[in-house]
Amino acid sequence: MQPDIIALQETHLNPCDKLKIPNYTPYRTDRTTHRGGGTALLVKNSIDHHPTPIASTSFENTTVILDLPNNNNISITSIYRPPHGRINTQELDRLFSQTAKAIVVGDFNAKHTAWSVGNSNSNGSIIHDHIANNNLVLLAPLEPTHFPYHHPSSSTLDFGILKNISSGDATSINDLSSDHNPVAFEINVNASLASPAKKVNITNWTIFCETISNRVPGNPKMNNIADVDDCIRQFTCNITTAVNLATKSRVIAGPFRQLPTFIVDKIKLKNRFRKLYQQTFYPPYKRKAYKLQREIHEDIVNFDNNRWREMIQGINPEDNSLYEMNRKLSKKFIPTPPILDTDGMKYTPLGKANAFRHSLENSFQVNPEPYCNSHIKKVNRSISNYFHNIHNTSQPEIVSPQEVISLIKKLNPRKATGPDGVSNKALRMLTLNAVTHLTKIFNKCLALHHFPDSWKLAHVLMFPKPNQNHKLPGSYRPISLLSNIGKLFEKVLLKRLNDHCLKNSIIPAEQFGFRSGHSCTHQLLRVTNKIVDGFNAKMYTGGVFLDVRKAFDRMWHNGLIAKLIDFKFPDYLTIIIQKFLSNRKFQVRINQALSSVGNIHAGTPQGSALSPTLYNIFTADFPTNNKILNCLFADDSAILSQGSNIKFVIHSLQLQLYEIEKWCTLWRVAINTEKTKAILFRKGHSKKSLKFLTFFDETLEWNSQVKYLGLYLDSKLTFRQHAKYNSDKFWAKVHLIIPLIGRNSVLSLNNKVLLFKQILRPILSYSAQIWGITAKCHHKKIQILQNKILRIMTNSPWFVRNEVIHKDLNIESIEEFIKKLSRKFFLKIPNHSNHLISSQIEYTHSNGKHKYPYATAKWSLPLKPP
């Protein structure tokens, strides 16, 4: 039996105790005043529902409301009324007043001849009269449910009361050893509550290819935009039909955990002895039942351990099972809690989805502040003139089937599908005639300057941000699932955008984000070299680290189009990008529920191939100054100023902030001044207070440390805080995957080492080429972390030396590994295409009191230019 809902009474749980059954969501009301009592409900995850706490003093209860289709809600209550005292009918009415239909089940401790043998009690009469006077339905089993340990009589104390539900059945099950028999209720609520069967879809790709080859013409006829849209619709339909015809579903049946027959037989025998003892009070029956209980517990523990051991031993990195297991352990599923909307809390998936839609629709708007009316009018006028005067547009670069094939080969088959249901795996299996068909669609879109509306609809998934209130819709990060066919066309456009940017040097050299051959470590190298150079020259380095508010979500569309025009992008690209941005729609998906359609008035979708490059183009004219070092990585921006006088440094930063303020006002970019940090890097101590910087009429206070691109930078560049941050992050990850790498894990040692190298060590060594110049005591702390986890992995006794473990596992010490990383990193610096990176060879000498990051490579000679 797999019930849809499990109602428990007298749980005897403390708030610290855990109650968990796979595939069920638990809700509890624990008694906190004294021992005993407590109620709980466990609802199948597949049933839409939300909890509804109801206060009561004469009984304990846990209530949830099932959110069924067509607003057909039903409240379910698990109730426990203690034996003493009288039940309050007004409180009982609260349980039935929540919804039109209600079900209340549990231990009422009420006897009446209407449902129990023997005498009635006062609470039984109260409940019986209440049922009769309020047109409720009693649902009680024919067999007794209560068998007292020290009294031969039996009675029915566990039953159900229904409101506006006419049919149902209750059965007392004589299986457990409690003094109360469990009761199974079968109630027809005129709605399907059972979860869909688990299915595995197996696609025969040979049949798929044959179907596509027969259905898709190689040379479609397209003369106008309507023909293109019809052709795209038919092409998408052909792919989904071919997948459906080639796919067979296999139902996975069976419970979550099926105990062996010998354990099930022991459980039945134990229950039989407990029942015999309840009836006869013969002590040997009780001793035998307790003995069997201990044996059953040991057998179940051994069974679970053996099953886990077999599963772990079958893990193999070659079939990705090792990484799949790590992903399952690392990324725990967190159900979406009730979401606060403008008109109250939303509990149902559809209600939550619409709450998110409302929040995102407000988010996908141009920043109301800052703004400049005259500049907005100027931009709108220039765009209007541009599109009005276009007559002979430039000829687009033709797409070849080979280009499409090369893009398809790079698709990740594991990526999620978009609204059209076409997976990347299906695109990778397209036949040559289908690729030719798709190529002609792309070429026609380029020729007609068209971006289809069907590719502009996004299904948005919401992912919770860490350490925030998850009941607020703003505490989630939206990720857009777009049409995979549309994303292929975006990559076609992206190649042409990048070619024009490279040819005309549009993206500034300071921008390292979303560029090939550029990484966070490269930008951190520039920042660190500048600061250390200031230390050696006995100069001060001031920095302001900006936080752009909703950089991608609120990008000004007209501002971006104006910049495409100013940068003289080909006309066909400008027109297509304008159509790509306009009239975009989205729906939020929670579980299987889709919100109503929302409109996007600003920003670019996070998940689009074009978004990063469009953002780089939008910020290409970020203010520059000879006295300021700009360090940009997408929307993570920093400005540095250096000088021998603190006043000069602060003055230079302030002037640059004024310029940035003007630029943000012109292009409607909002800066979060609360998260924008200012810091002064210097050695030594000073009691003089620093003059505050101002930005958008807000004061920027000076901080002792900032976090930039995942690295903590303190004012003296000791990286002490980063070492602590690394340690916390490392152990948090270890606690998640300890079942795989722990002392008692039966995973092979080779796989444990592989997990350490691929998952744990990258946490410790992130940007080690930069923070490697920290003091030896911090190196030692990181080395201790590595020593500890290696000892855990190998289950080494105390007398085995760490050097022996490292040698046997063929793992370098942290210092050696940092040296290896640094040498590989710095060898590529001289030949880098970006002159700002290649120029860092100026800091590869060992002159000066303070070490540059190059010192982590431990080479005695500086790098030479190519």
Domain ranges of the chain: 5-188, 261-314, 352-509+555-618, 525-549+622-709, 720-858
For residues 596 and 606, the answer to whether their CB atoms sit within 8 Å is: no
| pLDDT for the residue 315 | 78
DSSP 8-state assignment for residue 411: -
| pLDDT for the residue 792 | 95
**Residue predicted with more confidence, 750 or 320:** 750
Task: Examine the pLDDT at 298 and tell me if it is beyond 70.
Answer: yes
38 torsion bin: left (phi>0), alpha (psi -120 to 50), beta (else):
left
| Average pLDDT of the chain to the nearest whole number | 89
| pLDDT for the residue 191 | 47
For the segment 12-38, the average pLDDT, to the nearest whole number, is 86
**DSSP characters for 531-566?**
HHHHHHTT-EEEEEEEEBTTTTTT--HHHHHHHHHH
Closest CA to 529 of 855, 856, 853: 853
Task: Examine the pLDDT at 233 and tell me if it is beyond 90.
Answer: yes
SS (H, E, C) 588-616: EEECCEECCCEEECCCCCCCCCCHHHHHH
Task: Examine the pLDDT at 658 and tell me if it is beyond 60.
Answer: yes
Cis upstream peptide for 370 (omega within 30°): yes
The model's pLDDT over 424-465, given as tens digits with 9 standing for 90+, comes to 999 999 999 999 999 999 999 999 999 999 999 999 999 998
For residues 437 and 217, the answer to whether their CB atoms sit within 8 Å is: yes
Please give the Cα distance from 766 to 763 (Å, whole number).
Answer: 6
Terminal Cα distance for the chain, rounded: 74
What is the CATH code of the structural domain delimited by 5-188? 3.60.10.10
| pLDDT for the residue 176 | 66
Three-state DSSP at 183 gives strand
| pLDDT for the residue 193 | 42
**Residue entry with tokens 């090939």:** 516
Task: Examine the pLDDT at 754 and tell me if it is beyond 60.
Answer: yes
For the segment 760-782, the average pLDDT, to the nearest whole number, is 94
Helices 611-618 and 557-566: angle between axes, nearest 10 degrees = 70
For residues 108 and 156, the answer to whether their CB atoms sit within 8 Å is: no
Task: Examine the pLDDT at 802 and tell me if it is beyond 80.
Answer: yes
| pTM as predicted | 0.80
| pLDDT for the residue 725 | 94
Element (H, E) at 661: helix 646-667
| pLDDT for the residue 655 | 95
Task: Examine the pLDDT at 209 and tell me if it is beyond 90.
Answer: yes
| pLDDT for the residue 326 | 78
For residues 9 and 27, the answer to whether their CB atoms sit within 8 Å is: no
